[in-house]
Amino acid sequence: MAEKDYYKILGLDKNASQEGIKKAFKQLARKYHPDLNPNDKNAEEKFKEINEAFQVLSNPEKKEKYDKYGDSAFSEEDLSQFRNFNFDFEDLFKDFGFGDIFNIFGRGERGYESDYQEGEDIRYDLNISLKDAFLGVKKTIKIKVKERCEECNGTGGKESKTCDKCNGKGKIRTVKRNGFAQFVSVSKCDKCNGKGFIITKRCDKCNGKGFIEEEQELEIKIPRGVNNLQYLRVQGKGGIGINAPNGDLYVVIHIKNDTEFKREEENLFIEKKIDLLTAILGGTIEISGIDKDLKLKIPPATQSHTVFRLKNQGMPVLNSSQRGDLFVKVIVEIPRVGKLKEKKIKEALK
Ligand SMILES: [Zn+2]
Ligand SMILES: [Zn+2]
């Protein structure tokens, strides 16, 4: 058998990377794929050759053998196996783990649902205090994450056999004749549910589910100034995807109502009781701010429900060094008669 130059077949030199090999194969496959060149024997032959070259060079073990010994490293049988494969777009590319066959050939639709399914997004509701939102906080949350079972590679089976109904294709072609017309329909194989194989022995590790659910602890960093119902996205921690990315985890922040402070965006609001004398004569009162004690000057003759504004004593503004303001509504406490000496009141009102 003549020595074959697999690199040359793919139009590459010997230093080609795995990426380069895949890329070259994709390009050539697009050109010579028999489905795109019906009844063209040359294209078919060429495609077999490309495939053979790719099968060898894309496999590190085979590639090493080939680099050392050339194609004599493989038996005739091996080589014919590299060449003979099902001329089916999906099967072909699925085996090679590309998963983007439809992108390559520009086909808009996906084959079957079981072939491609994006992982679902998961929501986690996290309660924090207003103080936590003020300071920013790290919280450890526990979530149940589904991870693909490594043991069975997500199939759920320890042992499996090719589906005999669809011959491993996962779909069934039905031809119906109606007079001269012929209708071909392709449907998902009901025996294997489109998978192309049937599990004969369940995977013990995942109990046949194909995934393992485990509790994971995740540390969530909550930034200063976070607001109610804002969320943090943790990429890839949602449901598992099939030939598709995992879903994401959305941590939705709920800020518990604070007994003292009300919040509107970056501003805080409190009420503070002051006594009648301070309201009338004026004075300085102490306020517990969100992070420190503050002093507020009350001018003489202050009416009840007057609102004072303390600049930059509110919540931090998210992703900024600015702060909102603190609004203090003073409530004048009118003492019950008898508690305060009449004389003192009269004095104050002079
Ligand atoms: Zn398993
Ligand atoms: Zn089947």
What CATH number did the domain enclosing 98 receive?
1.10.287.110
243 and 292 fall within a common domain:
no
State which amino acid sits at residue 85. Answer: F
Query: Which has more confidence, 182 or 1?
Result: 182
226 and 343 fall within a common domain:
no
Relative to the alpha carbon of 191, which ligand is closest? 2
Whether 90 has a pLDDT exceeding 50, the answer reads no
Whether 296 has a pLDDT exceeding 90, the answer reads yes
Separation between Cα atoms, residue 135 and residue 235, nearest integer Å: 24
Relative to the alpha carbon of 148, which ligand is closest? 1
With 0-12 / 13-18 / 19 or more C-beta atoms within 10 angstroms meaning exposed / middle / buried, residue 32 is buried
For 78, phi then psi, to 5°, come to -55, -50
For residues 331 and 302, the answer to whether their CB atoms sit within 8 Å is no
119 and 248 fall within a common domain:
yes
Centre of ligand 2 to C-alpha 185, Å, is 15
Amino acid 338: pLDDT: 63
Q: What percent of the chain has pLDDT over 70?
A: 82
Amino acid 303: pLDDT: 96
Centre of ligand 1 to C-alpha 22, Å, is 29
Amino acid 126: pLDDT: 93
Report the half-sphere exposure of 160 (CA within 13 A, side-chain side). Answer: 19
The rounded Cα 303 to chain-centroid distance in angstroms is 55
Whether residue 10 lies inside any domain: the answer is yes
139 and 240 fall within a common domain:
yes
Centre of ligand 1 to C-alpha 151, Å, is 5
Instruction: Report residues near ion ligand 2: CB below 5 Å.
Output: 163, 165-166, 189, 191-192
Q: Which domain holds residue 169?
A: 157-202
272 and 308 fall within a common domain:
yes
Centre of ligand 2 to C-alpha 243, Å, is 19
What is the band of 224 on the pLDDT scale with cuts at 50, 70, 90? very high
For 25, phi then psi, to 5°, come to -65, -45
What is the band of 184 on the pLDDT scale with cuts at 50, 70, 90? confident
What is the band of 339 on the pLDDT scale with cuts at 50, 70, 90? low
Centre of ligand 2 to C-alpha 177, Å, is 23
Amino acid 193: pLDDT: 84
Separation between Cα atoms, residue 216 and residue 208, nearest integer Å: 21
105 and 119 fall within a common domain:
no
What is the band of 62 on the pLDDT scale with cuts at 50, 70, 90? confident
* Structure tokens that stand for 253 in this block: 């922040």
Centre of ligand 2 to C-alpha 113, Å, is 14
Amino acid 240: pLDDT: 81
Centre of ligand 1 to C-alpha 162, Å, is 18
Amino acid 86: pLDDT: 37
Q: What percent of the chain has pLDDT over 90?
A: 30
Q: Reduce the DSSP state of residue 127 to 3 states and report it.
A: strand
Centre of ligand 1 to C-alpha 214, Å, is 14
Centre of ligand 2 to C-alpha 110, Å, is 18
